[in-house]
Amino acid sequence: MLMEMGSLAPGFQYASAKMASDLNIFQQPSPNFGIRRGGVIPSMIVLHYTAMKSSKDAIQRLSDPKSEVSAHYLIDEAGKVTQLVDEQKRAWHAGQGCWGEINDINSYSIGIELDYCPSAKCNFDERQISSLEKLLFDILKRRSEIRPEFIIAHSDMAPGRKFDPGMYFPWKKLSQKGLSIWPENILDLAADWGKFKYHAERFGYRASCDTFGGWTDVLDVFRLRFLPKQEGKLSPVDMGVITYLSNNWPNIRNND
């Protein structure tokens, strides 16, 4: 049963009252969560898509103990927000992967699922994105540890394994509202795999293995987010973008 903000579940900490009022957040506590390891507080946000037929199906899966998956929030196509896990708790949304020096993404992040299936449609519903923007604004206002560059794609932290929220997600639009980052005024630079690896790692990407295949997976997910129409071998525009990202938002500062 879904509960509106006025009906509180014992021991469940909600998003801020103003944001809940603006979005009419519903609460459906999922049993799938744990304690953030080491007592850490969230310093990043990971965005996902559900790739399921409906938000109802997704909520059922995110609440099924047998699935061993969950997220802090789910936003359906019409923009309705459901909170499933207390932000203070460790939801099970990220799985295996890493970003920068963080290997336990679940302990360090807030997970947001978007009701979207790439095989069924291309563009995200504007109502859904509007609700996401309001939710992100609220989280960033309450949590100074989370900066726009720490809002990442599920694919960013799991190259070769995950591809959500996909090529049609409006990262540039979010960046224009201070909710993400976007490269501007890019210069073409000579294609160089050694330099690409250096800047990709400095920005935060990690290859699953230090092989050509592993770094091609990184190139693919980097393009998925920043250059969705780019194909083929490593190019000057790839180099320009990854260098810009690395220089402006370095995740690792000590690998020079």
Q: Is the dihedral of CA 119, 123, 127, 129 positive or negative?
A: positive
Residue whose C-alpha is closest to residue 84's, from 102, 64, 99: 64
- The one catalytic residue in 113, 126, 145, 184 is 113
Q: How far is CA 240 from CA 34, 60, 85, 168, 187, in A?
A: 41, 43, 39, 22, 5
* Residue tagged 């009701």 (tokens): 115
| Cα gap 61→55, rounded to integer Å | 10
* Residue tagged 């009906």 (tokens): 7
Strands 26-27 and 81-83: parallel
Residue type, 225: R
Q: Would you call 87 a catalytic residue per the annotation?
A: no
| Cα gap 74→79, rounded to integer Å | 9
Residue whose C-alpha is closest to residue 154's, from 101, 87, 106, 216: 106
Would you give the DSSP letter of residue 31? Answer: S
The catalytic residues are 113
